[in-house]
Chain A
Amino acid sequence: MNEVYVVGAGQTDYGSFPRESYRSLFKEAVDTAVASVDAEFDRESVDEAYVGTLGVGGRQLGLPGPAVTEFAGLNGTATTRVENACAASGVALRQAVLAVRAGVADVALAGGFEVMNDVSSERTGEWLGVSGETEWERMAGTTFSGVYAQMADAHMAEHGTTREHLSRVAVKNHANGAKNPHAQLGFETNLEDAMNAPAVADPLNLFDCCPTSDGASAVLVASRDAAEELTDNPIRIAGAGQSSGRVGLFQRPSLTEIPATQRAAEQAYDEADIGPEDVEFAEVHDCFSIAELLAYEDLGFCERGEAGPYVASGATEPDGERPVNLSGGLKSKGHPIGATGGGQVVEVFKQLRGEAGDRQVSGLSRGLTHNVGGSGGAVAVHVFEEGWA
């Protein structure tokens, strides 16, 4: 199997950018990724491009992939649009990895974009719930935050998770995001404010929820031979896992687990020949605070049911045993749906290369990204290691 390396990664700021278009945002992400490559990089050398977007707002429902890659100068590159809700660009990355492993591509691009803030709040509302199970879950009045709220309710009842445990996720991620110039909500908060924010979907409040965001991301991957021409500071993709699960929460055996995360992680760990104990830091899918706690358990960072005490112990703080969401996560950095998975890679790439500025944690050599679509219908997990294999 061909080895695959990340040779460049870039993202736009996440936020609300009425003067930008989905195309200009994507081009900015590609330009930034290209500029991050150590050697001179010819974007026409990209053999395959995988572009994630949900298509919020309906702006270019057909052919959104070529619409952005041609705009960004990829000039004829085979482009495939990936739709797996919020996991779109994590899954796009895995497609790029598979293309390089298969020997079809020497260089491939994975990325994504979403523009969520340029339409009326009514129309945004119509789009936010489209990744829930439509026929039954949605028709019971369930919103996207509502599904995660139900998981939080069940986790609290089954495992004694508390309001404070949820808010600790928000406080940690905002503290990290405050050091990230790309972050949409780059401000700190405190436990009291986070615990007493207005309710959104009980038990989740405003500080348990990520914002709606505009933004784009792009990741350049290459085969060993191509990577040797492009960098002396390689980041290897040691494991790439993906799994699917029932789209509706009610259709799954447990309300407090995401089986697709467990299966995707197992595959990524097996490929990398590691276990969860070997993961030094991670960017996990914290669309809601409870989602980060579920990720700790499903990825094997702590025992089942122990995610609340685990976050409270400080283990996932920047100075803890396993920092999680050093970028600020979806909570603080933002969540432009199709761009999120690629944006997670940008943080891991920077941390492993020692280029993360004020948020840099020293001595990191192995990181993980975890990207969830909907409430667990699709999950991608990747393991990254510094250096040549």
Chain B
Amino acid sequence: MGAYVSLPTWWRSNDSRYRLVLGKCPECGAHNFPAEGVCASCNADADFEEVEPEGTGTVQAVTVISGGAPPEFDEYQTREGAFATGIIELAEGARLPGMFCDCDPSEISRGDRVEAVVRRLYEQEGVPRYGVKFRPVE
């Protein structure tokens, strides 16, 4: 396996995986995702205020992956075919990568409004991994 996220690593990020908890920087007010490390906007090494976002956002960039998915998503791609993945800017301002669901992958484009939903992402070592995907909102 070339790259790997262990179960303990996954577990420690559960707040980010399920609820997209953001870190609001006390120095500049920027929202960071995930809520750790120095502030991506102002470089402050400060204690972030945890903010739970409402979970909607706007697509900033998207690609449709036709083949060669990361091995974790091999089975998903074999079953579902091409999928869309992109970068979403949440209403609060933080950006994160996300896979799109509940739609035809070719329908997603930059500027679309989407909302976060918890889905089963993949299974490894007999343990299903859950996290957020994004689906279009009308």
Identify the A interface with B (CB < 8 A). Answer: 58, 122-123, 125-130, 132-143, 145-146, 149-151, 153-154, 157, 198-204, 246, 248-251, 253, 255
Contact = CB atoms under 8 A, between A and B. Distances in A.
Main secondary structure on B side of the interface with A: mixed
B63 A138 contact: no
B83 to A, nearest CB: 6
Given A138-B72, A139-B121, A248-B97, A150 B87 contact: yes
B68 A143 contact: yes
A134 B5 contact: yes
Nearest to A127: B2
A153 B61 contact: yes
Most A C-beta atoms less than 10 A away, residue of B41, B64, B70 = B70
A150 B61 contact: yes
Given A141-B70, A141-B85, A146 B63 contact: yes
A142 B61 contact: no
A277 to B, nearest CB: 31
Interface in B105-138: 106, 110-111, 121, 129, 131
Contacts of A250: 33, 87, 95-97
A117 to B, nearest CB: 15
B64 A199 contact: yes
Nearest to B106: A202
14 contacts: A125-B68, A125-B70, A130-B2, A136-B97, A138-B3, A138-B5, A141-B65, A146-B63, A150-B61, A157-B110, A200-B67, A201-B65, A203-B63, A255-B87
Given A138-B72, A255-B60, A146 B34 contact: no
A13 to B, nearest CB: 25
B55 interface: no
B70 A129 contact: yes
Interface string B51-91: 00000000011111111111111001000000101110000
B9 A135 contact: yes
A137 B69 contact: no
B61 A126 contact: no
- The 4 lowest CB-CB distance pairs between A and B, nearest first, are A149-B63, A126-B2, A140-B97, A150-B61
A153 B71 contact: no
Contacts of A204: 63
B131 A139 contact: yes
